[in-house]
Structure 1
Amino acid sequence: MASNQETTAIAEKESKDGATQDFGDNPIEVRETDHYQEEYVHGFVDKWDELIDWDARAQSEGQFFIDMLKARGKKTVLDVACGTGFHSVQLLKAGFDVTSVDGSAEMVTKAFENARKRGLVLKTAHADWRWLNRDIHGKFDAIICLGNSFTHLFKESDRRRALAEFYAALKHDGVLILDQRNYDAILDVGFDSKHKYYYCGDQVTAEPEHMDNSLARFRYTFPDGSVYHLNMFPLRRAYMRNLMKEVGFQKVNTYGDFQETFDDHDPDFLVHIADKTYIEEK
């Protein structure tokens, strides 16, 4: 049996190797934007694609994002939450000029590797959304912020600043596509994910361990028994739509699980499409 000293040494080594997360003594008190850097440790990032299941996700969402961008005549896309590269790769294969960014250096590295394995080269950068235009130069036709990533911002000031940075990085007629979990449903009714559209890996469980009006703590359990967590802010649909408009976006359309019409508490995920200029419906 290992001594306490040996056990501590092993735990410290695992942490340094990126195998473990550190939420302190009381995990539900961790409600800080910057903590996401410590949550996406190497071990978690390395397993992330098990959760997504690229093939199943590609089939479930189809051409939704590609069609939305092509319908608006967009060509240059900034993927500000590229994660392990799923959407960047799909858009690159569809002919878009893609720049891939993430706040996690581990994710950026994984995205580049995933693209390379598929014979593609991603233009990648490591950047914090709150200072996006300091590190990313130029104007883009579209920005995508997918994978429920925006909910890592706990302060309203951070959310407003990030949206303002997105707005500034877009051309005058640019579009922002941002998604989130349907937190209204989770808070008001309870969690009941269909695992059909986003997190399609059928061997991984992703479910809330704690929920209140300012924290959604999710637990991710993998087939090998490893467990990871993410602490996120539960954005309500109306709040998010209003925030986009207050920052300057002229029109916001929201889809539920890629459908234009839906019952409020039915979809697992919501997709907001925010245009800088008002576009009349045809």
Structure 2
Amino acid sequence: MTFVRDSKFSSTDDAQRFGDLPETVRETDHYQQEYIEQFADRWDRLIDWQARAKAEGDFFVRLLREHGAKRVLDVATGTGFHSIRLLQEGFDVVSADGSPNMLARAFKNARDQGLLLRTAQADWRFLNRDIHGQYDAVICLGNSFTHLFRERDRRKSLAEYYAVLKHNGLLILDHRNYDRLLEGGSAVGNGKATVYCGSDVEVGPEHVDDGLARFRYSFSDGSTYHLNMFPLRYDYVRRLMGEVGFQTINSYGDYEHSHNNPDFYVHVAQKAYRFDDEPPQI
């Protein structure tokens, strides 16, 4: 599926190093070139912190508390929305990201609110090389897992999350409803965004196929940026989690148990070992 786009690339396309054939850029390591400083500086306008907080309510805080989690590793901190929210709620948080530009913005956002983030730049595939200790929960939010283009990268990253968790730890991971996109639907199904809530930016897919979802982010100041991501299917993610070792997996659609064609899926995977002979609950 291909969507209409400008015939000429903007200067930001060049800065993000997509080249003349951007739809051929399908590499896990390219995300660092995509999150250039100018894009990171505008990211919070895409989120709209107040609107996102209202949309998700206490969903993640409640989940973590229900499972007794206190020490949390945020592996996709971005500009710090969830790390800061969890710090404010009394959780012990370590904030990691692969993009130094995003970490710098997150640190500033926290400082502006009188908080100090403990940050680490880390590649998920080698997480335990850069992150030490064990955690009650790992969160990977904001559609971040879709930056991994190779299956071995996804398996390796999930295994690294698994290893850093305590024996009864929890992984919370989300992604867009790519099933709908791959089947010809829209990026936002119900007309009300629940993750990217900003009002002065237009977001939409320019190209979608089984191996790539290329999104365009057009801001009101005239700047335009792109992200190339792997379109994760719902059943695939759940199966992969089970094969890595998570034995109980519950999934939500837009923060609810019902899966009525949501915009985002949230998967909650438990590491706790099952002693019975029943198959994993996925």
How high is the TM-score relative to the length of structure 1?
0.91
2:55 is equivalent to residue 50 of structure 1 = no
Tell me which residue corresponds to 1:171: 166
Q: How big is the alpha-carbon RMSD for the aligned residues of Structure 1 and Structure 2?
A: 1.8
- What is the correspondence of 1:191-202 to structure 2 with a 5 Å cutoff? 191-193=186-188, 194-202=191-199
Letter in 2 for 1:250: Q
Determine which of 95, 112, 117 is the counterpart of 2:90: 95
- Following superposition, the deviation at residue 28 of structure 1 comes to 0.3
- What is the correspondence of 1:132-281 to structure 2 with a 5 Å cutoff? 132-193=127-188, 194-263=191-260, 266-277=261-272
What SS does structure 2 have at the residue aligned with 1:73?
coil
User: How many correspondences in the alignment?
Assistant: 265
Letter in 2 for 1:127: A
Mapped partners of 2:40, 2:246: distance in 1: 33
What SS does structure 2 have at the residue aligned with 1:37?
helix
Q: Is the 8 A contact 1:103 1:127 kept in 2?
A: yes
What SS does structure 2 have at the residue aligned with 1:137?
coil
Q: Is the 8 A contact 1:19 1:42 kept in 2?
A: no
1:17-76 C-alpha deviation (Å, 9 max, x unpaired): x99322011000000000001000000000000000000000110000000000011000
C-alpha distance 192-152 of structure 1, shift in aligned 2 (>3 A): closer
Tell me which residue corresponds to 1:7: none
- Following superposition, the deviation at residue 192 of structure 1 comes to 4.2
Mapped partners of 1:192, 1:236: distance in 2: 14
Determine which of 61, 65, 68 is the counterpart of 1:70: 65
Tell me which residue corresponds to 2:3: none
- Following superposition, the deviation at residue 220 of structure 1 comes to 0.2
In the alignment, structure 2 segments of 5+ residues that lack a partner are: 1-9
Mapped partners of 1:96, 1:69: distance in 2: 9
* Higher RCO, Cα 8 Å, sep 6+: 2
- Following superposition, the deviation at residue 189 of structure 1 comes to 3.6
C-alpha distance 252-208 of structure 1, shift in aligned 2 (>3 A): same
- Following superposition, the deviation at residue 144 of structure 1 comes to 0.1
Mapped partners of 2:192, 2:84: distance in 1: 22
Letter in 2 for 1:215: L
What SS does structure 2 have at the residue aligned with 1:83?
coil
2:121 is equivalent to residue 126 of structure 1 = yes
Mapped partners of 1:195, 1:104: distance in 2: 29
What SS does structure 1 have at the residue aligned with 2:15?
coil
Letter in 2 for 1:178: L
Mapped partners of 1:221, 1:258: distance in 2: 27
Q: Is the 8 A contact 1:20 1:43 kept in 2?
A: no
How high is the TM-score relative to the length of structure 2?
0.91
Mapped partners of 1:278, 1:258: distance in 2: 26
What SS does structure 2 have at the residue aligned with 1:190?
coil
Q: Is the 8 A contact 1:19 1:43 kept in 2?
A: no
Mapped partners of 2:244, 2:56: distance in 1: 28
Letter in 2 for 1:57: R
2:27 is equivalent to residue 21 of structure 1 = no
Tell me which residue corresponds to 1:8: none
Q: Is the 8 A contact 1:102 1:125 kept in 2?
A: yes
Letter in 2 for 1:270: Y
Mapped partners of 2:242, 2:203: distance in 1: 31
Q: Is the 8 A contact 2:187 2:205 kept in 1?
A: no
